[in-house]
Every structure is written in structure tokens, then in C-alpha cells.
Amino acid sequence: MENKFKDNLKLLRLEKQLGQVELARELGVSKGIISLWENGLREPNMFSLITLAKFFKVSIDYLVGLEN
């Protein structure tokens, strides 16, 4: 199964015109975590998924690629 999360995260970040550092600051995580997520090397935990969904005003299903 293809990992759409990494692509959706990057797309949402770029749509908001945020760098990885700015997004990390907004979410209270390190820039390295954002990079790992966007490169598909790590997946966020449930708390982080909820935080991302609220921040970007999208559903978790959208974030993980279950809906368009």
C-alpha cells in the first residue's frame, strides 16, 4: 500500500507556504521529525495525526490518503 501521508503532509505544508522549521515550531516537534514524516521514514503517532488534522483543518482520513 502506497504511503500517501508523506505526500499529503508536504502538499498541505507548501499550500500554507510553511517551511519544515515553521511547521515544526507550530506543532511543537523538531524539524527532523517533519523531515522524517515527509520522506516516509517515520509515521506520526495518533496524537500527532490529530494535531496535524486540526492544524491543517483536514480529516485524519485525508492525511493518511483514505479520502481525497
**What are the C-alpha distances in Å from 36 to residues 29, 44, 57, 68?**
12, 9, 22, 23
Helix 31-38 vs helix 4-15: crossing angle, to nearest 10: 130
Q: Looking at the predicted structure, is the pLDDT value of residue 3 above 90?
A: no
Domains with residue ranges and CATH for the chain: 4-62 (1.10.260.40)
Q: What is the mean pLDDT of the chain?
A: 94
For residues 41 and 32, is the Cβ–Cβ distance under 8 A?
A: no
pLDDT band at 1 (very low <50, low <70, confident <90, very high): low
Give CA–CA dist 59/39, Å, rounded. Answer: 21
Give CA–CA dist 10/13, Å, rounded. Answer: 5
pLDDT value for 32: 97
Could you read off the pLDDT of 29-61 as tens digits, one per residue?
999 999 999 999 999 999 999 999 999 999 999
Find the mean pLDDT for residues 1-8: 85
